Amino acid sequence: MAKTSKKIEEEVICNKIENKQNEIKDDIVDIDKLIALRVAELLAQKELELRATLQKEFEGEPLVKSKKIKPSQSMSARKYVPDDTMIRISQNISGKFIISETRGSNYFIELNGYGDSTTMAYKDLKNYHGRHHSFLNRGKLKITNVTSEDNSIDFNDVIHDLNLQRIYDDESKISPLDIEYYLLEEDDLKEFSMKLRNSREILSTIVEISFILYKDNKFNDNSKMDVIRQLTGDSNLYTHQSIPNNIRFVNPK
């Protein structure tokens, strides 16, 4: 029996509806695929970030030279550093290191080897430095961070108040913050040699750290070792079983 025009029209409409539904389904499938793809991309990115974080934790971040902050104030306009400013210090030599006071402020701090660190109130650190100035002056202890209540005091203010500018801010020398960098990362042997010669105050600390890193199979640059041997007059420096106690500067020709 022949289809009526009305029947044909209904079939056309139904086909259009079905086609449209299929198009909608295709669109939904495409959206699902896009969502799945985006989720996979995000997961992959997070995995890379996590791997990078874990690698830094286990291997340590690459060494970079510290950025010296030029003082904005003159010697006569130095800032007052409040007693409760918190100073982060780190041990720059091997062995056990005791920081203690039994008069006035009563504190006892034990550091247990190269790289160990602690936080002290500025009042305590300044008093300790007044009685044992050689530890900061020779880089045996190094200041690594400063925290004040209103962030008005920074690292440079503390270095200035303790009169340590010649140790930390002299561009011709190696700062206590940069010893590992110059031993392990600096490629310019001439610059290394020049700055090492100028760093007499902390030479024994630099040599001790080089010895520590050598024993840990981290420092193996023979050219830099030769420079250090010449400056100390110890041709057998890195064959000793322990760090020599009589490290000195011999000023070779």
pTM of this structure: 0.70
User: Tens digit of pLDDT per residue, the chain (253 long)?
Assistant: 555 655 566 665 666 556 655 655 555 556 666 666 676 666 666 666 655 555 554 455 566 666 555 444 444 467 899 999 999 999 999 999 999 876 766 788 999 999 999 999 999 999 999 999 999 999 999 999 999 988 899 999 999 999 999 999 999 999 999 999 999 999 999 999 999 999 999 999 999 999 999 999 999 999 999 999 999 988 888 887 777 777 777 765 5
Distance CA 194, CA 172 (A): 8
- Residue 99: phi, psi to the nearest 5? -115, 115
Distance CA 72, CA 67 (A): 15
In the chain, where do the E strands start and end? 86-91, 96-101, 107-112, 117-121, 141-147
Distance CA 240, CA 234 (A): 10
- Residue 142: phi, psi to the nearest 5? -125, 145
